[in-house]
Amino acid sequence: MTELSGGAVHIPVLLNEVLEVLGAGRGGMYLDCTFGGGGHTRALLDAHPDTWVVALDRDVRAIERGRGWAAKYGERLELVHTPYSDVLQQVSFRGFDGVLADLGMSTDQLREERGFSFADRSALDMRMDETTGISAREFLNTAAERDIYIALARGGVGTTARQLARVLVSKRPFENALELAEVVRGSQLGKRAVSRVHPATVVFQALRMHVNQELQEIEKLLEVVPVLAKKGGKLAVITFHSLEDRLVANTMRGWESAGTYPASWRGPRDQKRIGVVSPKKPIVPSDEEVSRNAASRSARLRVFEFVE
């Protein structure tokens, strides 16, 4: 990474594809809902001198890292510490040419010993915004077994979620991520695991999703994007697992079908569709990108174009 990265190690995923679908070469006004290491934001700004970006992140560390180099772009870059579900309250501009959401967590968060990685001996926190909400440790150590089961099941753990919730309650308190990963390995889920992927992967994902209310956040963002994007503007979303991908794909398809409007839609409620999913199939990383950046392997880029 260049020294402009302010210490971020995250490699932006599907970068050229995002620039192309958002028409970055023409310049414009963009909203990056997930600033992270700033890779997409920076590339948008560098693609044209008449580009402005408003970039959000709920992680104050990401915003602070970005402030280290934001001055280079002057007023062309505005950084806002907020969950994207609050974007309408935090950002007054309407009529963005492009809105980008690169979902999930960044490599920086994974490496910061905040409990996102199952090798972490540090506290099992998992909050992207450490200033609010309860940590994964507090949730696991205090929640009712049923609530833990629901979080695991909703997060994709599958048929072993109930048994695992029972095991987790019997083994608490948990202090760090490593302890949790070891308990999962010894559970039914761990014993059934056949692939080379650590059995705790899906459990960590489920807890992270619960602690950060990730699906609810995405739902709220999708509700308001039609207010934020201009006519002819685009929404580009990069998903990393089937739960979020299904939510994004179904919402975009719903928008495309005649007469289906998000609650936030302020245009006429006639039978005209508000836009199109384009391309119809998700854009996935090339073999070259996956070999260069393994974190990109499950990425899917879905794009919606609002009608003129």
Q: Kindly state whether residue 245 participates in binding ligand SAM, applying the rule CB under 6 A.
A: no
If the CB atoms of residues 161 and 211 are measured against ligand SAM, the closer one turns out to be: 211
Q: Kindly state whether residue 247 participates in binding ligand SAM, applying the rule CB under 6 A.
A: no
Gap between the Cα atoms of 80 and 93, Å rounded: 13
Q: Kindly state whether residue 65 participates in binding ligand SAM, applying the rule CB under 6 A.
A: no
If the CB atoms of residues 143 and 218 are measured against ligand SAM, the closer one turns out to be: 218
Position 21: which residue type?
Answer: V
Piece in contact with ligand SAM (CB under 6 A), picked from 33-41, 136-144, 165-173, 283-291: 33-41
Position 275: which residue type?
Answer: G
Q: Kindly state whether residue 56 participates in binding ligand SAM, applying the rule CB under 6 A.
A: yes
Q: Where are the alpha helices (DSSP H) in the chain?
A: 15-21, 39-47, 60-70, 87-90, 107-111, 136-142, 145-154, 161-171, 177-186, 188-192, 200-211, 214-228, 242-256, 287-292
If the CB atoms of residues 10 and 300 are measured against ligand SAM, the closer one turns out to be: 10
- Write the interaction track for ligand SAM spanning residues 213-242; mark x where CB under 6 A is met and - where it is not: ----x-------------------------
Q: In the numeric block, which tokens belong to residue 15?
A: 């970068």
- Of 236, 275, 221, 237, which is closest to residue 89 (Cα–Cα)? 221
- Of 240, 229, 238, which is closest to residue 266 (Cα–Cα)? 229
Least Å distance between CB 265 and ligand SAM?
A: 21
Gap between the Cα atoms of 239 and 298, Å rounded: 8
If the CB atoms of residues 165 and 238 are measured against ligand SAM, the closer one turns out to be: 238
Q: In the numeric block, which tokens belong to residue 281?
A: 């199939």
Q: Of 40, 65, 300, 302, which one interacts with ligand SAM (CB under 6 A)? A: 40
Residue nearest ligand SAM by beta-carbon distance: 36
Q: Kindly state whether residue 21 participates in binding ligand SAM, applying the rule CB under 6 A.
A: no
Q: What angle do helix axes 161-171 and 177-186 make, rounded to 10 degrees?
A: 130
CB neighbours (10 Å) of residue 4? 12
Q: Kindly state whether residue 58 participates in binding ligand SAM, applying the rule CB under 6 A.
A: yes
- Of 7, 19, 122, 132, which is closest to residue 62 (Cα–Cα)? 7
CB neighbours (10 Å) of residue 295? 16
Least Å distance between CB 155 and ligand SAM?
A: 15
Q: Kindly state whether residue 36 participates in binding ligand SAM, applying the rule CB under 6 A.
A: yes
Piece in contact with ligand SAM (CB under 6 A), picked from 50-58, 168-176, 198-206, 254-262: 50-58
Least Å distance between CB 152 and ligand SAM?
A: 20
Least Å distance between CB 59 and ligand SAM?
A: 4
Gap between the Cα atoms of 255 and 29, Å rounded: 23
- Write the interaction track for ligand SAM spanning residues 128-167; mark x where CB under 6 A is met and - where it is not: x---------------------------------------
- Write the interaction track for ligand SAM spanning residues 88-127; mark x where CB under 6 A is met and - where it is not: --------------x-xxx---------------------
CB neighbours (10 Å) of residue 247? 18
Three-state DSSP state, 129: coil
Q: Of 83, 98, 275, 285, which one interacts with ligand SAM (CB under 6 A)? A: 83
Name the site residues for ligand SAM (rule: CB under 6 A). 10, 12, 34, 36-40, 56-59, 62, 83-84, 102, 104-106, 128, 217
